[in-house]
Every structure is written in structure tokens, then in C-alpha cells.
Structure 1
Amino acid sequence: MTEKLNLNGPADLLATVPHLLGVKPVESFVVLTARAGSLGATLRTDAPEHVEPVSYAQTLTSHAANDEQATASYVIVYTDEHLDSGYPYAVHVAALVNELAAARMPVRNVWLVTSGYWAEFGTDEQNPLAQITDSQANATLTYFGSATDVDVYNPALLGTWALRVQAPEGSEEDIEAACKAWAAVLDATENPDQQTAREIAAAFQHKMVRDFLFRETITTHNGNFADVMLGKFTARPDWDRVDRAEALAFELMKVVPAGQRAPMLTLMGWLEWLKGNGTQADRYLKHAAADVPDFRLAVLMRELITRGSIAEVARDAATSYKRRLI
């Protein structure tokens, strides 16, 4: 289902944030950009600790400004930080409101969400969290399959029975065969059988072959691997194909043991980053770096995310991933 979800009031809007991020934020600042009649980008960063307010606000605003069509914004502070008087991070919030206004994205509302209540920032009225969890938006998103705080990777659930696969030598014939097999399963409607899955999973174990498979996932590219990895495409990609690739990557992890799942986890993280979901992307990449200690591609991708980099394809409304129901 792809119809637009109508948000009626603060509780509905607050309910969408965990679905957009794939996780319930804690000790975080979230900025939602807004356009005429719809939400734009969703940005999350850790709550400031010993960070100068103006610098913090300018960094967040610079990321929000990548949404060139944004005309307004919302700010949500998730924290259990307690002050004897006043609101937590009040100076940082004030700086952020000023910076967003200067960037022509005036803040419509600021909210505080704690583990016990939510409130309009700066007011004394505390509202029950049940208003968010019982909201129409949360019910609708959950009904249509969205879930929050689902562990993206649980090795125990994937099993320990699978034998290791042998990576190919990386010849031109190996690359051609792997790309052909990967394209075939991407275009299919059902998951591959176990033998095919293991062959493709084996191909992902070779660095050069893996890079070609990453590039093969995106059909609208200029052939430069570095540009493809940064989301610099020649047109809007086939996002259904991207969704299919992410689902297949998870299936491939089921046919190999721990220690050989990092390439697929990295693929999933990269695809989430292309969609503009840095929080979920980082979760996959962190698991990849744990599956194979310091897995190089995952480490590099995490460095991009830590610096606040946004994929080129996610910056343009004409090419970016369209989230269902929002």
C-alpha cells in the first residue's frame, strides 16, 4: 500500500518517527523537514554532550538543508536528562531554532519525549506516551507491516548449521557469472534455491566480485564504482529492485555461517543509506564490522554516516526513495 498517511496532530507525527528511523530514538535530537502538505527528510543525531550549542545547531541545519524543497521543520528532543529547573538542552534547542529559521526552514513545533511522557518543549503539561502508541498513525503503520526496534541481525536466529562457502578466484568469467546470477534473482519473484543462494553468497566473499555485485544492484549509474557507492546516479533508480536486493541479502545470510555475512550486511547498510536512512544503515554496518572484525567497506561507510554524509540520490526529491504511507 502506497497511499498517503494523514497526520492529525502531534501524537500522530511523533508516532511516525520510530517507523521512519527503524528505531525508537533515545538521547537524541531529531529534525523533520517539511514541505507543502508532507514531511521531507528525517535526521537523527545523538543529544549534545559538551558540544557548543551554535556549532551543534549549524551542523544539524547543514544536513537538513540538503532537503532543498523544505519550507519548514519540526524538532524533537528525546532524553531522560533531568534538570532541577528548566528544560534539558534548552540552549541547544534555541540555537537550532535560530539556525533553521535562518536557513528558511522555520520550526513549527519543538517537542520533548522522555521514557515517561511527551510534552511541547518549554511547557509544564505532560502527556501520556499512550497517546503516541495508540495513535491512528502508529496503528496504521504497524498494520501495514512497519515495525520499530526489531533487531536487524540475530546470528542465533539465522542458525549455525551452514557450512562455509568458497570465494571464487575473481576472474572475468567469475565476475560475469556472478553478475548474471545476481541480476537473475533480482528480477525473479521468488527466493533462490539453496544451491543458487550459496553460489551468490560465495561470490560476495571476493572483494572485486562483491563490488561488481553492488554496482549491478543499481541500474541507473555511470559505471564509476566510487560514484555508485556515493549514490551519484544518472536517473532515479529502480527502488523496488533495491528493496528486493535488501531482502535477498538477508536470505543469503541464512545459507552461510557467521564470519561470512559481513558483505551482505554491508550491502543492506549501503542500500539503507541510499534511501536516506542513516540510523538503520549504521546498525547493519556495525553488525558487519562485528561479523568480520574491521570489515573495511563497512568501516568506510560508517565513517561517511558519522560525518553526516547523505547519498546524492537521497538529496533530490525526484530521485530519492519514497517511503510508503508517509
Structure 2
Amino acid sequence: MTEKLTITGSADLLAVVPHLLGTQPTESFVVLTARAGSLGATMRVDAPAESLPLDYAQVLTTYAAHDEQATASYIIVYSDETDADGQLYPYAAHVAALTNELATARMPVRNVWLVTGTHWSEFGTDEQLPLDQITDSNANATLTYFGSATDIDFYNPALLGNRGLPVHAPEGTDADIAAACHDWAAALENPAMPDTKTARKLAAAFQHKFIRDFLMRETITTHNGSFEDVMFGKFTGRPDWNRVDHAQAVAFELMKAVPEGQRAPMLSLMGWLEWLKGHGSQADRYLKLAAEDVPAYRLAVLLRELINRGNIAAVATNAETSYKRPAI
């Protein structure tokens, strides 16, 4: 979509959020930064559980502050919870603290909304508005028309089956690494899915931890050579996000070619790529599946710890490099 999307009201803005995130948020706080005449970054975090209001607000504001061009912000609370007194507006203390922190950071909050499973409203008001206003909005219709979808999931367990024979990892020689990187690059440059023979060969390469790390790094063409920087999302420029989307689809194809117990490397790749996009919840889902496929799979465990500590990939904190949904 090359035309600029015009947002004319609250329903339009709320309709855009699932398209930006790739999923409909639930039990979440979303902060949108704003610039002169446009939106900036979009950040989603789980709704606070035991987090103190000020601590929670300072973490979110730190993330939002990465958008150095932001001059304002919006807050959206997605929740079906009620507050301790049974009122309709949950996390009021957290919203108040976040509003203050964003104002202090020179990103004053223009508006706060609550979106539940049955209605939406201006936060703190009595009027409950129908969700149809969001789904029927001009923004949602326009984005849908141009091909944007709000619930793209590369993982469909119903398609996996369990008939594939186990594959054997290569030895990990320099020649093995070079061959695997060549085959992986070819798969990512080919819009079609790999055939079964190629899929099994690549899946075998992913079974070797050292080769797996090389393939993960080579998924991002703007890497600076350091595997540690790549893993934390520190790149020299904006990644080719179409390539990343395709990599996730190919990774699922590789899982179809091998049995349970050999899918954890590809699930870990998919989880890591979701984290780079800023989709922490979806990333954690894939990584949890990886740790179930191979109990205590180390890469999945380490990445889950990183995400659950509230870390956001560096690439996702910069509006110029962060993932933009197709057709947005």
C-alpha cells in the first residue's frame, strides 16, 4: 500500500493497531507514538500483573522514548479485567502513572482507550461503544482491501503430521556451513517453498547448533557480522522484512519434513524472528513449542528468558528499522 492512510477518528486508529501488530491484542497495553501528521512506533506489552504502576510506566516510557521524533502518544488498554472495586476500568493507577511518565518524556498522551471483548470506550467514561465501529471503520476496510490481515500465523499444527523420517545433522565442517548457508539463501530468495529433498537437507543443517546459528544470522542481510549483535537485533540498517516473513514460512515447511523431536530449531528461529518484529507474545508461543518439542531446548529457553524479562529487540525500538505489516 503506497497511499497514505487517513485516520479520521478513534475507531480508525483502534482499527489500525491489529494490522500493525499482526494480531488482535488481549490483556495488553499498547502505546502508539505520534509525530507531526503521522504515527510513529507501536509497542505492545502484557498487561501488568504484579508490577507496580510507576515501575511499569517507566519501562514502557523507556521503550517509547526510542522514537526520538515522537511529540505525542496514545495509550490503549486491552482487557476484560475490572479493578479491585469491580469498576469497569482496570489498571487505572498504571494508566495514570504511564500518562505522567510519557508527559515528562515530552510525549504527552492525546487519548486513552479501553478495548474489551464486548465494547470499547474512552478510558474512564461511562459510554460503551460497539466493537463494530472499529471493524466497520474506513481504516479497517481500506487496509483489508489492500491485503493486510490481522492474524497471520505461520504455524499450523494440523498440517505438520508426523510421517517424516528423522534427519541426521552434518558434521559441522567449514564446507558443511558454506553449503548450508548457500542452500538457505537460495530458499529465501525463491518465492516458492522448497521441495521435500531440499527441506530435509535444510532441516538437517538446523539440527547442528553451530550451523543453526549461522543460518539464523544469514536470515538478516543487514547484520554486522557479530552473532551476539544479530541475536539482540542490532543491525546496520532496516532488515528485508519480506525475507523475514518468507523465512518463517520456509521454517514451517522444514518442520513438515521431519518428525517431532527435530522441530525445535525451526520453532526457535520463528520465535526469534517474531521477537525481532516486536511481537513478544507470539515469539514466546513459538519458543514454548520449541521447548516442548525438545525438552529444555537451550536456545528456546534462553530466548524465553530474554523476552520474559521485558527486553525488546533493538531493531523493533526504531521506527525507521522496525517491522511494518504488509499493506500498512
TM-score of the pair, normalised by structure 2: 0.91
> Within the alignment, does 1:5 sit opposite 2:5 as a pair?
yes
Work out the CA distance in 2 between the residues paired with 1:88 and 1:251. Answer: 42
Work out the CA distance in 2 between the residues paired with 1:8 and 1:77. Answer: 20
Q: Kindly tell me: are residues 205 and 2 of structure 1, through their superposed partners in 2, closer, same or farther at Cα, counting changes over 3 Å?
A: farther
**1:189-204 map, 5 Å:** 189-204=191-206
- 1:23 aligned residue: 23
- Is contact 2:147-2:327 (8 Å) kept? no
- Is contact 2:41-2:319 (8 Å) kept? no
Work out the CA distance in 1 between the residues paired with 2:283 and 2:90. Answer: 28
Secondary structure at the aligned position of 2:207 is classed as coil
Q: Kindly tell me: are residues 50 and 267 of structure 1, through their superposed partners in 2, closer, same or farther at Cα, counting changes over 3 Å?
A: closer
Q: Deviations over 1:185-238 (max 9, x none)?
A: 222232221101110111011101101111111222222111111122233333
- Is contact 1:155-1:258 (8 Å) kept? no
Give the gaps of 5 or more residues in structure 2.
Answer: none
Superposed CA RMSD in Å reads 2.1
**1:1-326 map, 5 Å:** 1-82=1-82, 83-85=85-87, 87-149=89-151, 152-326=154-328
Aligned residues: 326
Amino acid at match of 1:20: L
- Is contact 1:22-1:279 (8 Å) kept? no
Greater CA drift, 61-70 or 272-281:
272-281
Work out the CA distance in 1 between the residues paired with 2:224 and 2:20. Answer: 30
- Is contact 1:48-1:56 (8 Å) kept? yes
- Is contact 2:147-2:326 (8 Å) kept? no
Work out the CA distance in 1 between the residues paired with 2:162 and 2:94. Answer: 47
Work out the CA distance in 2 between the residues paired with 1:147 and 1:270. Answer: 21
Work out the CA distance in 1 between the residues paired with 2:178 and 2:87. Answer: 65
Q: Kindly tell me: are residues 17 and 170 of structure 1, through their superposed partners in 2, closer, same or farther at Cα, counting changes over 3 Å?
A: same
Work out the CA distance in 2 between the residues paired with 1:50 and 1:230. Answer: 27
Secondary structure at the aligned position of 1:204 is classed as helix
Q: 1:2 deviation in Å?
A: 4.3
- Is contact 2:99-2:108 (8 Å) kept? yes
Q: 1:42 deviation in Å?
A: 2.0
Work out the CA distance in 2 between the residues paired with 1:86 and 1:159. Answer: 45
Percent of pairs with identical residues: 73
- Is contact 2:19-2:325 (8 Å) kept? no
- Is contact 2:154-2:248 (8 Å) kept? no
Q: Deviations over 1:68-110 (max 9, x none)?
A: 2222111111222234446322221111100010011111100
Q: Deviations over 1:148-188 (max 9, x none)?
A: 45555332322222222111111222111111111112222
Greater CA drift, 249-258 or 312-321:
312-321
Work out the CA distance in 2 between the residues paired with 1:37 and 1:50. Answer: 36
Work out the CA distance in 2 between the residues paired with 1:15 and 1:318. Answer: 22
Work out the CA distance in 2 between the residues paired with 1:59 and 1:226. Answer: 23
Work out the CA distance in 2 between the residues paired with 1:40 and 1:286. Answer: 31
TM-score of the pair, normalised by structure 1: 0.92
- Is contact 1:57-1:92 (8 Å) kept? yes
Work out the CA distance in 1 between the residues paired with 2:187 and 2:204. Answer: 15
Work out the CA distance in 1 between the residues paired with 2:10 and 2:218. Answer: 42
